């Protein structure tokens, strides 16, 4: 039962994360965010295709689904005799995977930054607080959202691992942070290739 609890917690969280907020919000304007910009469904591409107002809604929904998935994972795991902390941790990573590879839209999606942020807000809020200025400064100085996003994900992982080594958070949170970091960086593979080639889009340049 404990293993089943963790598996079901991860599956439930994946489904929550897979809800394509950007596509749903885009219907309010009759625009599919996948039809322009990077073709992704997250807030950055929503800003390009839907405007800043609806992009803010997408951002909020993506953060909320990450947080909700973690809470749901803990409940499901505990109900089936598994450790809720591990259920929450696996759920966080599963939700980000669902956002990046959504079963509802042909296994496409966003980059996972906002959903991962929402998950980590529940698991280790101090790490998210540490990553916010890193994200802001990196985007401000480079005008590349992708650079800020990658650095923020890595910052969260490093901070949570450090906190776990110091005994301030559980191993579960560290595992979640590392898994989420890996998924987010992998989801930016095309951005990394464009950065290396000098063709990455800068913020405000379409």
Nearest to 181 by CA among 92, 107, 108: 92
The answer as to whether 25 is a domain residue is yes
The CA distance from 97 to 155, in Å, is: 19
Please tell me the total count of domains within the chain.
1
The answer as to whether 142 is a domain residue is yes
The answer as to whether 203 is a domain residue is no
- List the pLDDT tens digit at each of the 206 positions of the chain: 689 999 999 999 999 999 999 999 999 889 999 999 889 999 999 998 999 999 999 999 999 999 999 999 999 999 999 999 999 999 999 999 999 999 999 999 999 999 999 999 999 999 999 999 999 999 999 999 999 999 999 999 999 999 999 999 999 999 999 999 999 999 999 999 999 999 998 886 65
Contact 27, 79 (CB under 8 A): no
Count how many residues are written for the chain: 206
What pTM was estimated for this model as a whole?
A: 0.95
The answer as to whether 57 is a domain residue is yes
Give the burial class of 115: count Cβ atoms within 10 A of its Cβ; 0-12 exposed, 13-18 middle, 19 or more buried.
buried
Q: 108 has which bridge partners?
A: 102
DSSP label of 167:
T
CA distances from 129 to 4, 118, 181 (A): 33, 12, 16
CA distances from 36 to 23, 44, 47 (A): 12, 12, 11
The answer as to whether 42 is a domain residue is yes
> Any residues with CB less than 8 A from the CB of 78 and at least 6 apart, and which?
5, 84, 87
b/e map 18-55, b = 16+ CB within 10 Å: bbbbbbebbeeeebbbbeebbebbbbbbbbbbbeeebb
The answer as to whether 157 is a domain residue is yes
Q: Which residue has the tokens 């800020």?
A: 148
The answer as to whether 205 is a domain residue is no
Domain that includes residue 183, residue range: 2-197
């Amino acid at each position: 039962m404990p293993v089943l609890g963790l598996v079901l917690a991860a599956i439930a969280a994946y489904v929550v994360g897979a809800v394509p907020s950007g596509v749903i919000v885009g219907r309010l304007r009759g625009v599919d965010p996948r039809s322009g910009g990077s073709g992704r469904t997250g807030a950055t591409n929503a800003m390009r295709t839907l405007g800043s107002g609806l992009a803010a809604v997408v951002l909020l929904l993506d953060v909320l689904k990450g947080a909700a998935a973690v809470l749901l994972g803990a409940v499901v795991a505990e109900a089936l005799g598994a450790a809720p902390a591990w259920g929450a941790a696996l759920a966080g990573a599963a939700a980000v995977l669902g956002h990046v590879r959504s079963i509802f839209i042909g296994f496409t999606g966003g980059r996972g930054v906002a959903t991962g942020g929402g998950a980590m807000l529940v698991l280790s809020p101090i790490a998210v607080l540490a990553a916010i200025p890193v994200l802001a400064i990196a985007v401000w100085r480079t005008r590349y959202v992708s650079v800020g996003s990658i650095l923020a994900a890595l910052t969260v992982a490093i901070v949570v691992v450090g906190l776990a080594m110091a005994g301030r958070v559980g191993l579960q949170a560290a595992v979640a942070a590392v898994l989420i970091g890996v998924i987010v960086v992998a989801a930016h593979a095309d951005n990394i290739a464009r950065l290396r080639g000098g063709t990455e889009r800068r913020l405000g340049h379409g």
